[in-house]
Amino acid sequence: MPIYEYSCRSCGHDFEALVRASKTPTCPTCQSDDLERRFSMPVVRSEATRAVSSRDAKQRDTRLAAERVHAQREYERNHD
């Protein structure tokens, strides 16, 4: 079941849809079935992109952990 990108010719809305078998999707905005399937770029995965993704995830997790610690300290300071 691939996910395709569509552009509605009636209202111009761009969206993605999970397409099952031969069913034709409809526009979620105007319910029109006058759609144009757009070309989707494939996702490229390599060692470099994995390293960048991993680094970004670690930075995000570190930042969120620091925010949680700060929130907990604020709570303890204000509620003791």
| Domain ranges within the chain, ordered by starting residue | 3-38, 43-80
pTM of the shown model = 0.46
Helices (runs of H) and strands (runs of E) counted in the chain: 1, 3
Which one is predicted more confidently, 3 or 70? Answer: 70
pLDDT at 66: 95
pLDDT tens digit sequence for 7-59: 999 999 999 888 877 777 889 999 998 999 887 766 677 888 888 889 999 99
For the record, the structure tokens of 38 come out as 């757009």
